Amino acid sequence: MEQQHFAESRYEMNYELYKKFYRTCMIGSSIVIYILAAFMFLLSLGGGITLGFDTVYIAGIVFCIAVISTRLWQDLAYPKSFYKKSVRIFNSIFCVQLFDEYYHIESKNEASSGASDIRYDSLYKAFESCELFILFIAPRQAHMIPKTCLSDDAALRLRSILKEKLGRKFSFR
């Protein structure tokens, strides 16, 4: 006897959805890097002002500016350039069916199509943000389920299933 799904979601992977996914996944490391770089910048600047700007302090300031600039590029410009280069991958229609023990996902686009069933307890980790559920299959592979495609009851039920099956590997971002 086949189980009945409690929710079904259909959505197209577009740039706005990818940008939300990217920012949700990168927010933690970005904050840490910005804080450390700002602290090092202020330390180098303060040391340079009080002890005189020598090569070490100038190198520290230049290094901090380079780190902050690179991270800003990663946070603001990289998602757009990656999306433009990989547009064939992203313009896909996804259909997700949620069951109590697993979820079924289908992907359809011009280049390829596929389907798989994934048990919740086999997930690497999962995040919930204000707009998405992000289900990681492996450290660098994830499925997204936009909350706009789910009813409130289905989102609550999915949240409780993920908390039960994943425990500490499920978090809200």
Predicted confidence (pLDDT) per residue in 94-105, tens digit:
899 999 999 999
79 φ/ψ sector (left φ>0, alpha ψ -120 to 50, else beta): alpha
Tens of pLDDT, residue by residue, the chain (173 residues): 367 888 898 988 888 888 888 887 777 777 888 888 889 888 888 888 888 888 888 888 899 899 989 888 888 888 888 888 877 767 788 899 999 999 999 988 777 788 899 999 999 999 898 889 999 998 888 888 999 889 999 999 999 999 999 999 998 87
Task: Using alpha carbons, list the distances in angstroms from residue 95 to 7, 42, 150.
Answer: 11, 49, 12
Which secondary structure element, helix H or strand E, spans residue 91, and what is its range?
none
Query: Phi first, then psi: what are they for 12, rounded to 5°?
Result: -105, 135
pTM for the complete prediction? 0.74
Question: 10, 25, 14: which is closest to 145 by C-alpha?
Answer: 10
Each residue of 55-102: pLDDT tens digit?
A: 888 888 899 899 989 888 888 888 888 888 877 767 788 899 999 999
